[in-house]
A and B are shown apart, each in its own frame.
Chain A
Amino acid sequence: MRTQYDQADVKRVIDQLEGKVAAAFAVDRPLCVIGIRTRGETLAKRLIEGLKKRGFNLIEHGVLDITLYRDDLSEIGPGPMVRPTHVDFDIDGIPLLLVDDVLFTGRSVRAGLNALIDFGRPSVVRLAVLVDRGGREVPIQADFVGLALNDVPVGHRVNVHFSEDDGEDEILVEPRE
């Protein structure tokens, strides 16, 4: 199993993801792109940059913090920082692309969908992820996947790093500490 993807790999994966997204939405229609904090937010920004170059000019950009919607707070320990959510536009009736870095159990996306419902009713909600590593615990699947990893052992984590957050672009498959 490959355990490391470098900057060039990440760029290629994002380009492929961006191509799939671009093919699925109308270039001249409004589109909301909402990233799940923290790496989903960065990925969303990069996708939007690419989509704009492809002529998508009616994109609204939002950020979702799902801490208050999680079902596993007691498992991740006391006092996780709750950070602001920014969805400063009307999402009713408009297609919405939810963006996250890694799709694993599906629980983060479940929480994200719950949070979205409190902001309105998009015409459709699609899910784009950089990496799908399998291991779902709820019936949620991505519509657009950059990189599918089918043989990540249960005890391993897939960590996505972006230069904006972590200094460099890479995808690492590592044993859980």
Chain B
Amino acid sequence: MTVTRVQAPAATGGLRRAISDGLIATGRNLKRIPRIPELAIFAILQSVMFVLLFAFVFGGAIPLPGGGSYREFLLLGIFAQTIAFAAATTAIGITDDINKGILDRFRSLPMARSAVLSGRTISDVVYNGGILVVLMLSGLAVGWRVHSSVLEFLAGVGLLLLFSFAMSWIGVWLGLSVPTVEVAQQVSFTTIFPLTFLSNIFVPPQTLPSWLQPLAEWNPISVLTSAIRDLWGNPNPYVGDGFPAEQPVLLTLIWVVVLIAVFAPLGVRRYRLMSR
């Protein structure tokens, strides 16, 4: 614009800038949570409602093959379902930032390019971690218990949070691909809901029609649910003897890696394409 080239700080802050800007973006997202309490409250209410509905309505009607408490069986499924909806939370957050114009502000600043997306996904993990705590407390209230060691309990929590991080990357891609918050909401609910029902969350997969069983067995949400049921010593009446039945923890980790490897580059690409 002008002839003189003005002195500007070096453009490459590298990893340090990526981390510090990522933390600033994370902090910004976290500060917003208590200021829009409706969002968190309804997310929690929805999950608690599921816990109560299934515990008290179906609790007696659905017998588990091989015995065991249906409530303990179900609750971990509800945990996994809630965590799967991380994709919706992230997608809605991103679309909202685009529509409010704040994403453009960020893009006009000399901040690390990665910070907006990393800040969003990391803060959503923290947010879902908070919701998980509330879910566990309400689970404890209706009779759920962990029957294994502290270490295995923590491993299960870690697995849930890792999975939430992976789902958030799907949300990044989705949020950058849809025009409005309403669409983001619709798309994520219509894709995640069937996935949570075609799983082992509510019923043991062997009760499904045989052609649906492989889908339900390999479904990442089923695998995650199996993994935490195993880790926490809660009922997991699984009759299959394939890989998903034998190595649910390993397969969950594989799913996490695959989802991130696919959706993070897609999301980043979408983000870059915003300037086209």
A binds B: no
Report A's interface with B, CB cutoff 8 A: none
Report B's interface with A, CB cutoff 8 A: none
